[in-house]
Amino acid sequence: MRLEVAEIVEVIVREGMFKVGLFKLTSGLKSPFYIDLRRLYSYPQTARMVANLLLQVVDIEYDALAGVATAGVPLAAYMACLSGKPLGYVRPAKKQHGTGSLVEGNLEGKTVVVVDDVATTGGSLSSAIEALREYGAKPVAATVVVDREQGARKRIEGLGVKFYALLTVSELVDIATKKGLFSDNDARRILEYIRSTSA
């Protein structure tokens, strides 16, 4: 599994899904790096590997998967296809037409794993968990590819939901630095930022 994770990190960094600079995040935080895994699905073999590994990481029983729109939806779809589990997703806001749904799919009464690509403070995941509960589903876990280590785990577990990540950003940076994909200076700057903002 570690070998596969190292391969995934190499694709993430080499294909520009991990950017170094100055970025404003959805959470409002400023960051010296940005992770954009929406490009992952342009590399289907790697996306499949990620989905397979996440299915192994989540070690509890559940009935269905629910992607967080938009970035969590293709990942949850890969996981659903590979596992044979039903799929649904949570919109960022209610539809302004049709049924006005916030949750799509037949998830009522089912135990659900909520899927997203990256977690920072856990705001998107916690909103999805609340929406699923209101809908009548039972979120039992949340999983992401990368945990930015800025409070998501604590927030999600505080809601009584297990939290799983394939990688922390510290692990990603460590693997990438050992592979020569980051300069020591960039790695140091990122790790200092993580330490100063971790919750």
Domains, the chain, ordered by start: 2-197 (3.40.50.2020)
pLDDT for 1 beyond 90: no
The Cα–Cα gap between 99 and 102 comes to 9
Q: Kind and range of the H or E element at 163?
A: strand 162-168
Which tokens is 169 given?
């950003």
Distance CA 181, CA 117 (A): 21
Alpha helices in 15-60, H assignment, sequence order: 44-57
pLDDT tens digits for range 29-47? 889 999 999 999 999 999 9
Residue 92: predicted pLDDT: 85
Instruction: Tell me the pLDDT tens digit for each residue of 97-140.
Output: 666 689 999 999 999 999 999 999 999 999 999 999 999 999 99
Arithmetic mean of pLDDT, 68-85: 97
| H helix and E strand count, the chain | 7, 9
Start-to-end Cα distance in the chain: 27
Residue 49, pLDDT above cutoff 90: yes
